[in-house]
Chain A
Amino acid sequence: MSEIHGATGSYVVNALDPDELDEFEAHLAVCPTCQQEVVEFCETAAELSLMVPAPPPPPALREAVLSGIVGVRQLPPLPGPRQTASPADGPGEEQEDEPLPVPVARADDRVEERPVDELALRRSSRRLRLLTGLVAAVSVLALALGGVVYSLARQQQPPSAADRPAATAPQVDPSLLAAPDARIYSTSVNGAAASFVVSKRENRAAFVSTDLPSPGAGYVYHLWTLKGTKIVRPDNVLTGGGSATQVFSGPVNESTALAINIEPAGTSPQAPTSDPIAVQEI
């Protein structure tokens, strides 16, 4: 495979440097293999965006968006064969006022597969932006190492054998496992196999992992119970570094989900201060 094909991933996550971006886009316009991969990677990246919780949009944004489009001229459909559900409304002989370059290369005999247009809508301010980006990269380095890389480091614990049934670990109180409605929900925590063992009837639950990586110096794993989408209650904490188990104080019977995250040791947060690393509906 020639080297240029290998740029698909960086292209989709908008990480190509300007010179290579130009080169790759020229290649992309004529390479069906890369076009296909770019399409697939765009779908994948869209899922990736789910991974990290973020605050919801401010309520005022809706009104701003909806009033903002009033009077905004919509672009006419692109010419050419289309099989969409929306038939063209007319001959579409409008003036092209659209400033966006569209890759032109196409094989006329084939169903046209232009690479994802939006990625091709490239920026006029690219070079200026890159300059500021490089300055920023230096200033952010130390901060990133403290934050981003730290959180990544936590994920780097070697994955444990996923087929080890954590729920049979001896630490779990057998009477919980023996509850008539006991259920074992398998999950993973930072790459380690883990389980939530739940008996709603007995109002009991436990978290257990046979190979839980350390949460990092000065941090502990923190359990939470959730009720609906609003109520998050702090529960017990546990440390990692090998076999680990902890019971929930509950109330389990009125919880709808259990979760675990990482919190600074010695604190008693009333609400989570970091993203959940596992959530289990129960």
Chain B
Amino acid sequence: MNLYVVPSEPGEPSRPSGRAQSGAPDRPGRADRAVEAAELAELVALSARGHEDAFAELYDRTSARIHGVVWRVLRSSDHAAEVTQEVYTEVWRQASRFDPQKGTVFAWMTTMAHRRAVDRVRSVTSEVARDENYAVAEAGREVDHVWEGVEQKLDAERVRKGMGSLTPIQREALTLAYFGGYTQSQVAALLKLPLGTVKTRIRDGLIGLRDALGVEA
């Protein structure tokens, strides 16, 4: 388990970083993430050649996160399960199109999942009125799971710290767009800001977060 605990020793001097096997991450977990990215890419490559067992492992290793992003946008277990299944079917169909040169498996799948979740939320919102009370009640029922997996929470904490480096408006615009599933015009209306400002804040927010997290493309 890779944790963000107090460093037990001062930072080691930097050494040439072989990506996957580097033993000197300049932030915790980078090497682990690189190893994981390579393993997931291999599972996708195997899936592309029809290996269902590799695909099953890919599901096991990614489904919590993929379902998570879908659920967070949709706030409905039923819709989230449906959309998540659609996403995995697309991953299976398009596995041969995944190109590790263009990003990680997580980014590829999360992009797909987020887009489909947003599509779904925009098509069903009128049905369920996206009742926040409903979402809260449901979240209450799921409460046993809410804090499951400390490791994931620590990852979340890392991202939250990155978010903390943004200005309030950047954070708000980015959060409404990403988790709320709103278009930038809707975000502009919600925040009573000009559209151009919202667009800039969303981009600046991603730039800030990218830099704070040290994201490597």
Contacts and interface: CB of A to CB of B under 8 A. Distances in A.
Interface of A: 3, 6-10, 12-17, 36, 39-58, 61-62, 64-66, 68-70, 72-78, 82-86, 89, 111, 113-114, 116-119, 121, 123, 125, 128-130, 132-137, 139-141, 143-149, 152, 155-156, 159, 183-188, 191, 224, 226, 228-230, 232, 256-257, 259, 271-273, 275-282
A104 to B, nearest CB: 15
A39 B202 contact: no
Contacts of B213: 44, 47
Contact of A273 (B59, B84, B123, B140): B140
Among A137, A156, A256, the most chain B Cβ lie within 10 Å of the Cβ of A137
A42 B111 CA distance: 6
B176 A148 contact: yes
Contacts of B72: 49, 52, 54
Given A40-B210, A230-B148, A256-B150, A77 B97 contact: yes
B113 to A, nearest CB: 8
Given A6-B199, A48-B209, A65-B88, 8 more contacts: A42-B110, A61-B67, A62-B63, A69-B89, A140-B129, A143-B130, A147-B136, A229-B150
B84 A57 contact: yes
Given A55-B145, A184-B6, A15 B184 contact: yes
B192 to A, nearest CB: 11
B20 interface: no
Contact of A45 (B5, B163, B178): B178
B217 A43 contact: yes
Contacts of A149: 172, 190
Given A148-B175, A271-B143, A45 B156 contact: no
Given A42-B107, A77-B96, A53 B152 contact: yes
| Most chain B CB neighbours (cut-off 10 Å) among A69, A78, A134, A155 | A69
Contacts of A136: 122, 125-126, 129-130
B45 interface: yes
B100 A85 contact: yes
B186 A61 contact: no
Contacts of A82: 99
B126 A43 contact: no
Contact of B147 (A3, A17, A62, A272): A272
A121 B100 CA distance: 18
A86 B96 contact: yes
B63 A57 contact: yes
Given A15-B184, A50-B65, A53-B152, A147 B132 contact: yes
B93 A188 contact: no
B65 A134 contact: no
Contact of A14 (B4, B95, B118, B136): B118
Given A72-B92, A272-B147, A42 B103 contact: yes
Given A148-B175, A188-B161, A129 B123 contact: yes
A143 B180 CA distance: 12
* 9 tightest Cβ-Cβ pairs between the two chains A and B: A136-B125, A9-B203, A54-B68, A133-B122, A57-B67, A86-B45, A49-B69, A46-B110, A55-B142
A183 B103 contact: no
Interface string B116-159: 00110111111001111101100110111111111111111111
Contacts of A130: 122, 183
Contacts of A83: 101
B152 A47 contact: no
Nearest to A159: B164
A274 to B, nearest CB: 8
A14 B217 contact: no
B180 A51 contact: no
Given A66-B56, A136-B122, A144 B180 contact: yes
Nearest to A78: B97
B67 A53 contact: no
Contacts of A6: 196, 199-200, 203
Contacts of A259: 147, 153
B116 to A, nearest CB: 9
A53 B111 contact: no
